[in-house]
Amino acid sequence: MKTLFAKSLVVAAALCMAVGASAQAEGLKIGYFSGERVLRESAPAMAAQARLEGEFKARDQELKDQASKFQQAAQKFEKDMPTLSAAERERRGRGLDEQRFDLETKRQKYMEAVSTRRNEEMATVSERTSKVIKQIVDTEKYDLILSDAQYAGPRVDITQKVIDALNAGK
């Protein structure tokens, strides 16, 4: 496993040196942008996040209320347990199990719905980001744009240009 990693590292380093030498020889223009930063700071991404929060606020509150009621019922059951008959303990225990199952099911469906909608919204933002990057490539004659590199110097970082163009609605 270590040798595979070491070989991959050597290949990657050789590729980077080859690209670097080629870039110097041919005058390649290379840029980099941080996709994470774009999704965190751009107006379309923040608007998408606000839409998601608004869309799921009521369901989130409903789940919190249901969890609180379940917690109160469980505490009451624990407090009352010594004085309950065996049949009553079993009946209330089953009721709590049903409440727990219902709560977990609703929570799971909620999380799936949030995840699906987040993916839809982020796909839209990502599509807009791709169009903006294409415009930057065309207007500024970039040969290569990288995203989420291990390291990129400020000279090649075009993240703020991408964010500004997204915020301007281009």
Who has greater pLDDT, 25 or 113? Answer: 113
Return the domain boundaries, the chain.
24-168
**Tens-place pLDDT, residues 42-92:** 999 999 999 999 999 999 999 999 999 999 999 998 999 889 899 999 999
Instruction: Using alpha carbons, list the distances in angstroms from residue 36 to 39, 94, 117, 163.
Output: 5, 46, 18, 11
pLDDT over 50 at 99, yes or no: yes
At residue 4 the predicted structure's pLDDT band, cuts being 50, 70 and 90, is very low
Output Rg (C-alpha) for the chain, integer angstroms.
27
Single pTM value for the model:
0.69
**CA-to-CA distance for 89 and 168, rounded, in angstroms?**
63
Architecture of the 24-168 domain: 2-Layer Sandwich (3.30)
pLDDT over 70 at 108, yes or no: yes
Encoded amino acid at 128, one letter: R
